[in-house]
Amino acid sequence: MIEHQLTAERLRNLPLPTPEAGSKDERGSVLVLGGCVEVPGAVLLAGIAALRAGAGKLKIATVKSVAVPMALAVPEAMVIGLPETEEGAIDPERAEERVAKAADRCDAVLIGPGMTTGEATTALTVALLSGQPSSSYVLDAGALCSLGAHAEAVRKCGGQVVITPHAGEMAQLLDRSRDEVEADPLDAALRAAELLQAVVIMKGAQSWIVDPGGERSLYEGGGVGLATSGSGDSLAGIVSGLLARGTEPMTAALWGVYLHGAAGMRLAASCGSIGFLAREISNEVPAIMREVACEPSA
C-alpha cells in the first residue's frame, strides 16, 4: 500500500464541503460528550475547536455541577447537565437516556474528552453508537480504552467513526504494551483500523492516519509545542466539526491532523516552540483552512 505524506498540496485535492448561504443547520451540529469535575475543560476545548472548524451548532453534555459555568464559558453552546457519581464523573446509567436525546439529529458526536475510563463509560459509548446510526463519531480518551472488546458496535457504524488514540490508549485498545505500540505505531494503527473498521489517527511526534482499507498517510509537522495538556481535545474537536459539515471520515481526519499541526507551527513561530496553550490552537484554524483552500498549488 502506498504511503502518502500529508501536505497542504494534497489537501487541495480533497476540498472540504462549502455550505451555501443559509441557516446554521446547513453547517451541521456537533455533540461533545465528556468531562468530569476534575477535568471540566476538555469538552470546552473540543467544543470551541468544532465551531472553529466550521460546525454550525454545538451541544456540550457534561456533569451537572459544571454545566452552568460551562454555559457561561461557551455561550455559543447548548449545555446539558448530566447526572454524576459521588466522585464527580458522568453517571452512565442515569445519563444514557438524556445523552441519547441530546445526540438525536446531531451530525457528529464526539465522545470521551475528560471522561473517566472503565466499563461504565464503554457501555455508554456502545449504547450511543448503536442508537444514532445516521451520525458520524469521533472517539477519544475515555471512550477508547476498553473498546476492543466491543469492536462489533463500532463496525456497525459503517465506517463513520474516527478514533484519536495516543500510544497509551492504543495499547489498552489492542491489549498490547505501550512499548510495542511506540515501537511500531503504524502497525498498531492498521490493526485498530481493521478491527474497528474505523479511521485511525495514531497520535505522536509523527502521526499516522489510516483507514480500514489500509490507506495510510504520515504527518511529520506540528512540533513539540503540541505535546501539551488539552491538545488532543482540540484535535478531536476539529475533526468533529469537519465531520458535521459533511466531510468524509478519512478526509476529515487528514484535514484535522494538518490543521492542528499547522496551528502548532504558527504558534511556535509567534510564541516560541513550547509554552503556548491548547486553548490557542483552534483560534488559528479558520485562517489556515482558508489559506490551504485558496492558495494555488506550486
- List the binding residues: 42, 114, 166, 203-207, 232-233
One-letter amino acid of 122: T
In three-state secondary structure terms, 189 is helix
| Known binding-site residue numbers for (6S)-NADPHX | 42, 114, 166, 233
| Known binding-site residue numbers for AMP | 203-207, 232
Query: Which CA distances in Å does 70 have to 44, 217, 241?
Result: 7, 36, 19
Rounded distance, CA 32 to CA 82, Å? 13
What's the CA dihedral at 29, 34, 35, 36 to 10 degrees? 140
Q: What DSSP line would sit under 207-242, residue for residue? A: EEEE-TT--EEEE--S-GGG-STTHHHHHHHHHHHH
DSSP state of 204: S
Rounded distance, CA 216 to CA 30, Å? 26
Q: How far apart are the first and last CA of the chain?
A: 26
